[in-house]
């Protein structure tokens, strides 16, 4: 265990209880970083912390809502006391809501008719409040950690931030209006912050995962028997590598963007990790 760059660095990973960012946290610890694990539920963070500890690493799990500035400030103070000042930040917290997506992929006249099918939710039925919840989580939930931990980095004159964008940042996927526009916002935020924080010695980049196999995506893209749903088949038809991503597929890109030796002149970019999805029209 250990890495000449990551060794003894203090890294903060939000959304660390999820499939992708738990793998990122474990990898940073494997490389020698002392990792603070932030997430809404300790039950998801504790197994990640245990895995890191069993491998000889250092992890501090903290139950935190990243949209709550006071809570993130409190977490920052505790991290500084227990591990030291934050030097690396991975903003992986985010998500969607089932009641903030449409049930249709395009307008149908019945959407605005008197005999609307039960359970149908089109664009005109979307609740702005539910959409705002998604937008707040993905945008404000990224901005607040950048403010809180970025302030610490700015005081030290160095640091690196990696945000989590999405394929939705480039192409708004059908049904996912709020999630798509919020993830497009993350790429814009990444560019804005990269320019703003350059004088502070802080690099800001992002990764844009394609379709990865996690708990949520399996329900949407795969059948109980392990086959593909219609949506899953559609995704695969647009993915030249003909498979879903695995969490380990993200690790190289995230660690490269964080590494001041390897990516010292890289800031303001978003790196797709998508099996070629963006390159393929599917036609």
> Dihedrals φ, ψ of 202, to 5°?
-110, 125
| Dist CA 29 CA 19 (whole Å) | 16
**196 is a catalytic site residue:** no
Out of 6, 179, 212, 277, pick the active-site residue.
Answer: 179
| Dist CA 88 CA 104 (whole Å) | 40
Residues with a catalytic annotation lie at 179
């Amino acid at each position: 265990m250990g890495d000449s760059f990551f060794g003894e660095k203090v890294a903060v990973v939000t959304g660390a209880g999820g499939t992708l960012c738990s793998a990122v946290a474990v990898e940073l610890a494997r490389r020698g970083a002392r990792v603070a694990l932030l997430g809404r539920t300790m039950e998801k963070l504790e197994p990640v912390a245990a895995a890191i500890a069993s491998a000889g690493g250092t992890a501090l799990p903290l139950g935190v809502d990243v949209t709550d500035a006071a809570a993130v400030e409190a977490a920052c103070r505790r991290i500084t006391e227990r591990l030291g000042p934050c030097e690396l930040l991975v903003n992986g917290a985010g998500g969607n809501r089932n009641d903030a997506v449409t049930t249709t992929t395009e307008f149908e006249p019945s959407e605005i008719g008197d005999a609307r099918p039960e359970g149908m939710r089109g664009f005109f039925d979307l609740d702005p409040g539910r959409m705002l919840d998604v937008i707040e989580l993905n945008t404000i939930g990224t901005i607040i950690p950048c403010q809180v931990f970025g302030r610490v980095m700015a005081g030290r004159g160095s640091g690196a931030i990696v945000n989590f964008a999405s394929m939705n940042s480039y192409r708004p996927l059908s049904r996912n209006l709020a999630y798509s526009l919020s993830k497009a916002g993350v790429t814009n935020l990444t560019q804005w912050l990269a320019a703003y924080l350059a004088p502070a010695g802080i690099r800001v980049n992002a990764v844009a995962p394609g379709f990865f196999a996690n708990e949520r995506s399996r329900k949407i893209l795969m059948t109980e028997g392990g086959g593909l749903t219609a949506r899953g088949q559609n995704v695969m038809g647009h993915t030249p590598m003909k498979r879903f991503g695995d969490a380990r597929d993200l690790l190289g890109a995230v660690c490269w963007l964080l590494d001041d030796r390897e990516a010292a002149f890289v800031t303001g970019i978003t790196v797709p990790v998508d099996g070629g999805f963006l390159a393929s029209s599917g036609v």
